């Protein structure tokens, strides 16, 4: 008989500051040793459920609860946060916010020090988990100096060392490149099997999590559970797309190929699908003219070093007017440094030519009138409280007269779909709307190139689509779009050209379909193939043909 370890029975929760409950009538039992994925759009209540589990609610965020919530048969909200921490260990989305120690070894030992663990036992457990998670060479390093994947391993070791029976992962893939994300999912699966932990994963990136099996998926929206069952059962429905969750790419491609998925029983496992090459009709002779584009911004022999360590190495880049470019590579490849060089945030060696004119001497303000740099988090860019004031700020600082400011701001707000909100406080906007405000504050200065760092990181499908379709509209109006991204599907769907960076060098300048069909290049860049590549292998068709087929079908181009 299965042993219940977590139980919510007709459970509801309302924050003190809100009138309506965030969680409503939750009936959910998690059994000992299960591995459960919790998905839902932004604001669905899934993070609130996790905060109830690890004690942040009600110890930090207060509110009113209804119904029952039990952990190992005990009333959860009667436990102290200290006692609960020995039952539930959490790996946060922001690993930097979780580090305590000055070194990896200190960070791993922190929980044991709090428990006054004997020194010999403490050293033994630190060594055990450092060895298991490949951290022994890093024990003397600062956690903040590590790569994204290494930081996740340190965070995971820091909670595993306490040997809690329940592990909670809050969006563990949010800040990782594709290969590092795949490695973390494999590690979570390994720990789950070896240690027998009860594992809960809260994550938007459903397909990436399903790289390794889960027992169940729980779909939450509007504070209610809409689905609680196996991955195969969920993938056979339309619930994912109806609730703003991106379905696995191979399923979308199979639908484009006209395959009836209703008859399939193992949709979560591509290898076990009964699809064969004879069931599909793949036309690969594509007709799509690519117009010749003019050079807009050229970087020649651009190099940059920090503390005598080369970060950018003799880069040559020709950005053409009207392009949609994706810059990809693992964490630490030099992508963000290249973006700073393009935006004049750092001074480098080399030449910068704008329409053949040398602009290396541009100040940050002058370059911003040509290239607008949009950070990943819009809250880091916002300086005022009101929408109009934020968009007008750059013009005010440049001494533009009041009448021209009003005219230019109103025109830009209309382009960005924000005119009706012009007198609203920014705090009242959604994440996607805030992103539009930051882009508007760039467009109003006349920027022709829009450069975005991870434009959709951590966003559900609704916000993802809103942001990317808005960028498509700006592209149609003549803007050049350059995006730094870890999202291989975003690269495939929304770019025409991809630049691949490895250790400060541009090692490839190609089109998305070609990159995703080149296993050797993907490995070299620490990227990973999409599931279209694996589907092509299963169907015994050319991965390049199938990837191009998907992209052309998505864009509505005619196939001959």
Q: Which residues have C-beta within 8 Å of that of residue 68, sequence separation ≥ 6? A: 7, 8, 9, 10, 11, 75
Share of the chain above pLDDT 70, in %: 97
The sign of the torsion formed by the CA atoms of 41, 43, 44, 45 equals positive
Residue-wise pLDDT tens digits, 320-339: 999 999 999 988 899 999 99
Confidence of residue 559 (pLDDT cuts 50, 70, 90): very low
Q: Is the peptide bond before 58 cis (omega within 30 degrees of 0)?
A: yes
Q: Which of 9-23, 162-176, 285-299, 516-530 has the lowest mean pLDDT?
A: 285-299
Q: Which residues have C-beta within 8 Å of that of residue 388, sequence separation ≥ 6? A: 409, 413, 422, 423
Task: Identify the CA nearest to 96 among candidates 144, 46, 147.
Answer: 144
pLDDT attached to residue 171:
87
* Longest pairwise C-alpha distance within the chain: 75
Average pLDDT (467-488) is: 92
240 touches 495 (CB < 8 A): no
As a whole number, the mean pLDDT across the chain is 89
Whole-number Å distance between alpha carbons of 44 and 99: 28
560 touches 283 (CB < 8 A): yes
Rg (CA), the chain: 25
Average pLDDT (546-558) is: 78
pLDDT attached to residue 558:
38
Residue-wise pLDDT tens digits, 364-423: 999 999 999 988 878 888 999 999 999 999 999 999 999 999 999 999 999 888 998 899
Task: Identify the CA nearest to 132 among candidates 161, 106, 112.
Answer: 161
Task: Identify the CA nearest to 422 among candidates 437, 438, 443, 401.
Answer: 437
Q: Which residue would you say has higher pLDDT here, 317 or 179?
A: 317
311 touches 337 (CB < 8 A): yes
CB atoms under 10 Å from CB of 54, counted, come to: 20
Q: Is 244 a residue whose pLDDT tops 90? A: no
Task: Identify the CA nearest to 184 among candidates 166, 204, 161, 201.
Answer: 201
Q: Which residues have C-beta within 8 Å of that of residue 164, sequence separation ≥ 6? A: 85, 86, 87, 88, 89, 197
pLDDT attached to residue 535:
92
Residue with tokens 């053949």: 356
Average pLDDT (418-434) is: 85
Whole-number Å distance between alpha carbons of 450 and 482: 6
Q: Is 160 a residue whose pLDDT tops 90? A: no
Structure tokens given for 27: 């009936």
> Alpha carbon 413 to chain centroid distance?
27
Q: Is 95 a residue whose pLDDT tops 80? A: no
Fold of 4-246: Rossmann fold (3.40.50)
Residue-wise pLDDT tens digits, 271-304: 888 887 777 777 655 445 567 789 999 999 999 9
> Could you state, in order of their start, the residue ranges of all structural domains in the chain?
4-246, 248-281+532-560, 295-531
Confidence of residue 315 (pLDDT cuts 50, 70, 90): very high
Whole-number Å distance between alpha carbons of 431 and 415: 18
Whole-number Å distance between alpha carbons of 170 and 96: 14
Looking at residue 379, what DSSP letter applies? G
Reported as type and span, the H/E element at residue 373 is: strand 371-374
Structure tokens given for 290: 């690519």
pLDDT attached to residue 560:
40
Residue 507, SS3 per DSSP = strand
Q: Is 219 a residue whose pLDDT tops 70? A: yes
- The backbone region for 396, taken as left when phi is positive above 0, alpha when psi lies in -120 to 50, beta otherwise, is alpha
Q: Is 264 a residue whose pLDDT tops 90? A: no
Structure tokens given for 182: 């795949």
Question: Do the two domains 4-246 and 295-531 of this chain adopt the same fold?
Answer: yes
Task: Identify the CA nearest to 282 among candidates 549, 557, 554, 23.
Answer: 549
228 touches 218 (CB < 8 A): yes
426 touches 390 (CB < 8 A): yes
pLDDT attached to residue 290:
62
Task: Identify the CA nearest to 502 among candidates 481, 523, 528, 530.
Answer: 523
Fold of 295-531: Rossmann fold (3.40.50)
């Amino acid at each position: 008989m299965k042993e219940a370890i977590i139980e919510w029975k007709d459970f509801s929760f309302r924050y003190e500051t809100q009138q309506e409950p965030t969680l409503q009538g939750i009936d959910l039992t998690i059994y000992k040793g299960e591995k459960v994925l919790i998905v839902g759009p932004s604001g669905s209540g899934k993070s609130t459920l996790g905060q109830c589990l690890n004690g942040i609610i009600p110890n930090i965020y207060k509110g009113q609860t209804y119904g029952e919530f039990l952990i190992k048969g005990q009333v959860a909200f009667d436990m102290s946060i200290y006692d609960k921490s020995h039952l539930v260990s959490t790996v946060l989305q922001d690993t930097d916010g979780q580090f305590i120690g000055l070194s990896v070894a200190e960070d791993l030992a922190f929980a044991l020090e709090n428990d006054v663990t004997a020194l010999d036992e403490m050293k033994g457990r630190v060594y055990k988990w450092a060895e298991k998670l490949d951290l022994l060479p890093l024990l003397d390093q600062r956690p903040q100096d590590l790569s994204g994947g290494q930081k996740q391993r340190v965070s995971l070791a820091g909670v595993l060392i306490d040997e809690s029976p329940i592990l909670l992962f809050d969006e563990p893939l949010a800040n990782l490149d594709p290969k590092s994300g795949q490695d973390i999912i494999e590690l979570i699966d390994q720990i789950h099997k070896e240690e027998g932990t009860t594992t809960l994963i809260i994550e938007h990136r459903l397909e990436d999590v399903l790289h390794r099996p889960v027992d169940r998926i729980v779909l939450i929206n509007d504070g209610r559970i809409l689905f609680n069952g196996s991955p195969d059962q969920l993938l056979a429905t339309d619930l994912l797309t109806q609730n703003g969750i991106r379905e696995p790419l191979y399923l979308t491609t199979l639908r484009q190929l006209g395959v009836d998925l209703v008859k399939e029983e193992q949709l979560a496992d591509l290898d076990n699908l009964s699809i064969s090459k004879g069931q599909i009709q793949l036309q690969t002779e594509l007709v799509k003219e690519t117009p010749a584009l003019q050079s807009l911004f050229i970087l020649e022999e651009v190099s940059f070093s920090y503390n005598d360590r080369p970060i950018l190495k003799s880069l040559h880049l020709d950005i053409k007017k009207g392009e949609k470019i994706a810059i990809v590579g693992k964490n630490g490849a030099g992508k963000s440094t290249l973006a700073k060089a393009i935006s004049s945030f750092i001074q480098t060696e080399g030449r910068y030519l704008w329409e053949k004119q040398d602009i290396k001497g541009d100040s940050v303000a002058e370059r911003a009138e040509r290239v607008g740099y949009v950070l990943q988090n819009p809250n880091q860019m916002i300086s005022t409280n009101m929408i109009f004031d934020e968009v007008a700020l750059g013009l005010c600082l440049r001494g533009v007269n009041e009448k021209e400011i009003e005219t230019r701001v109103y025109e830009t707000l209309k382009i960005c779909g924000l005119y009706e909100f012009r007198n609203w406080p920014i705090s009242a906007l959604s994440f996607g709307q805030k992103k539009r405000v930051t882009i508007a504050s760039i467009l109003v200065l006349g920027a022709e190139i829009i450069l975005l760092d991870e434009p959709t990181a951590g966003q559900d499908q609704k916000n993802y689509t809103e942001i990317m379709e808005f960028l498509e509209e700006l592209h149609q109006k003549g803007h050049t779009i350059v995006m730094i991204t870890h999202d291989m599907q975003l690269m495939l769907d929304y770019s025409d050209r991809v630049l691949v960076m490895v250790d400060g060098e541009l090692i490839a300048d190609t089109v998305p379909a070609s990159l995703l069909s080149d296993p050797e290049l993907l490995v070299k860049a620490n990227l990973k193939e999409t599931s279209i590549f694996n589907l092509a292998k299963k169907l015994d068709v050319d991965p390049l043909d199938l990837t191009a087929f998907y992209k052309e079908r998505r864009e509505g181009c005619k196939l001959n």
